Amino acid sequence: MIEEKRILLYALLAFFLLIIAYVDIQKKRIPNALTLCVLILGVLQPATQENFLCAFILGSFTGTLSYIYYAYKKINGLGMGDIKLFTVCGFWLTFAEIPFFIALTGMSGILWGLVWQHITHEKKFPFAPCIGLGVLTTLLLR
């Protein structure tokens, strides 16, 4: 029963991340309602104190990184939707998984950004597909 619940939650997570990625690609924004769905699913799995701390760590990390980038370049590197999605992904991860998640998301972001710029000739690209790929791959390799 517990394993069936986990499979269902992972499937729902993948479903919502796919919708988020699609919307981000189409509109360059991540709706709060969809991010909230990922948060609710993360809390339902059930979340532990470690998950809450992971969410805090990821939110603090991406928020700080975005602030530093803005202070240096005077342009936004990450949108608030990306920061919020990164944060709620912490509810799905453990401390040990955070470095892999960040590295995989960052590397896929670099590759996706290069492909996006080559195809669209736009400098800004939707990052939600990379975040979704990072968290789902991390969970599948668990």
Q: Which residues, given as ranges, of the chain have pLDDT below 70?
A: 1-2
Is residue 98 a contact partner of residue 92, using CB atoms and an 8 Å limit? no
Span 104-136, pLDDT tens digits: 999 999 999 999 999 999 999 999 999 999 999
Among 66, 67, 79, 62, CA closest to 124:
79
Q: What angle do CA 101, 135, 132 make, to 5 degrees?
A: 120
Peptide bond into 129 cis (omega under 30): no
pLDDT at res. 106: 97
pLDDT score recorded for residue 4: 87
CB 98 within 8 A of CB 51: no
- pLDDT for 65: 94
Burial-class residue 126 by CB neighbours within 10 Å (0-12, 13-18, 19+): buried
Q: What is the pLDDT of residue 93?
A: 95
pLDDT of residue 53: 95
- Give the pLDDT score at 2: 65
